[in-house]
Amino acid sequence: MCRWAAYRGMPIPLEQIVSAPGHSLIEQSHHATEAKTATNGDGFGIAWYGEHPEPGRYRDVLPAWSDCNLKSLARQIRSPLFLAHVRASTGGATSRDNCHPFVNGKWSFMHNGQIAGFEKIRRPMEAALCDRLYQARQGTTDSELLFLLALEFGLETDPAAAFAQAIRFALSEAARAGVRELVRFTAAFSDGETLHAIRYSNDAQAPTLYSAPTCNNQGHCLVSEPFKDTDTKWHEIPAGSFVTLTAGGISSARFDPAQTDAVKVAEVA
């Protein structure tokens, strides 16, 4: 289980989310309180949008708490939309290529959760990719593969449907392989304009997700765990949600991959 935070709004220095608050993401890399594991020390990464369509990215294999580069970058880089992640591996080596966020063209993606028995269904999942996305694989994680499958299944045109199909695909391949059918999936992703998040599990333990207006209402923050500052009003996103952050604000819809049309009645949060 990992921890992550994402932001969309007026441009702010990354450190306001990554390292400054009382219970920042870096703090959570040491002492997560709502995760299965308190320590998230198997690497980290940030992806942020600036002048280019594709995001910048910095990933490394050290624990976030001891990386002096991350501290300096988070202080200097200002962005209106960014993702930050600290990793606790559920499998896969501690290498840069296995660190989130994953990036493909203009898209960025990060994930907290897991696919049970991933090794048994990795093969059909990879087989479902077109040649271009097959060649785009860099690491060995279930997370990267769910992201590539979503790209395969139409992330560009319908993000909720694409991830719903990717999750359905993993569950059906797990059934076929005779392993436990379990996908826990709390993720954030963006094309540089809109920031999306999903909180989902097909059991009762969807990894937590919270949202709050932040930085004097200049933007919104989505996080695995609330920061410890007392001023921010955190709102827990219920399991089975698809969250959308645009210039117009935050909205949430029901997310249920078991339904072919994954996203139901949209409702403004």
Instruction: Please give the residue ranges that form the binding site for a copy of itself (CB under 8 A).
Output: 13, 30, 38-39, 41-42, 48, 50-52, 56-63, 66-69, 72-73, 75-78, 89, 93-97, 119, 122-123, 126-127, 131, 134-135, 137-138, 140
Q: C-alpha dihedral over 113, 119, 125, 126, to 10 degrees? A: 120
| Minimum distance from residue 65 beta carbon to a copy of itself (Å) | 8
Our CB check for a copy of itself shows the closer of 37 and 251 to be 37
| Minimum distance from residue 56 beta carbon to a copy of itself (Å) | 3
Is 99 in contact with 41 (CB distance < 8 Å)? no
User: How far, in Å, CA of 44 to CA of 2, rounded?
Assistant: 9
Our CB check for a copy of itself shows the closer of 177 and 182 to be 177
Q: What is the 3-state secondary structure (H, E, C) of 18-45?
A: HCCCCCCHHHHHHHCCCCCCCCCCCCEE
- Give the side-chain half-sphere CA count within 13 A for 74: 25
How many Å separate Cα 77 from the centre of its chain? 20
User: How far, in Å, CA of 13 to CA of 10, rounded?
Assistant: 10
Our CB check for a copy of itself shows the closer of 134 and 203 to be 134
Cis peptide before 101 (omega within 30 of 0): yes
| Minimum distance from residue 174 beta carbon to a copy of itself (Å) | 15
| Minimum distance from residue 44 beta carbon to a copy of itself (Å) | 12
Our CB check for a copy of itself shows the closer of 74 and 222 to be 74
Our CB check for a copy of itself shows the closer of 67 and 256 to be 67
| Minimum distance from residue 112 beta carbon to a copy of itself (Å) | 18
Residue 249, φ and ψ in degrees, nearest 5: 120, -165
- Residue 243's DSSP bridge partners are 197, 252
- Nearest CA-CA partner of 224 in 10, 37, 14, 11: 37
| Minimum distance from residue 180 beta carbon to a copy of itself (Å) | 17
Our CB check for a copy of itself shows the closer of 97 and 158 to be 97
